[in-house]
Amino acid sequence: MTRSIRDRATGAVLASGVEPDVFDFEGNVYFTPATVSIDCLVVTDETYTCPYKGTCNWVSIRDGASKVAWVYADPKPGHDRIRGAYGFYRGQRQATEEVTDQD
């Protein structure tokens, strides 16, 4: 089963893949870097610090919505699974939507 995240404004696929390159963690969906459309996204200098996972950088759609995803380059111990993966909110959001295609 392929899981994707799309830009709701343009329909562009921001990330798409299958397990184990796509996985759920804490209610969100994460995509490994190989499954992300890097040309559609930009990692910003803007950060958020989670007391459990550490500091992440926000990711914006190039020439589009901001803060649609996040990346933990160096998460705290116990959260190595999300290192470098792009986290997206599940479901339908203002700027993105999650799509599941049956293979």
Q: In terms of Cα–Cα distance, which of 23, 36, 21, 22 is closest to 69?
A: 36
Domain membership of residue 42 as a residue range: 2-101
Domain with residue 75: its CATH number is: 2.170.150.40
Q: Name the pTM for this structure.
A: 0.94
Over range 75-91, report the average pLDDT.
96
Is pLDDT above 80 for 102? no
Per-residue confidence band for 101, with pLDDT thresholds at 50, 70 and 90: confident
Is pLDDT above 70 for 87? yes
pLDDT digits (tens, 9 = 90+) for 63-82: 999 999 999 999 999 999 99
How many CB atoms within 10 Å of residue 18?
Answer: 12
pLDDT digits (tens, 9 = 90+) for 9-67: 999 999 999 999 999 999 999 999 999 999 999 999 999 999 999 999 999 999 999 99
Indicate the number of domains in the chain: 1
Q: Would you say 103 and 4 are in contact if contact means Cβ atoms under 8 Å apart? A: no
Specify the pLDDT at position 96: 95
Is pLDDT above 90 for 103? no
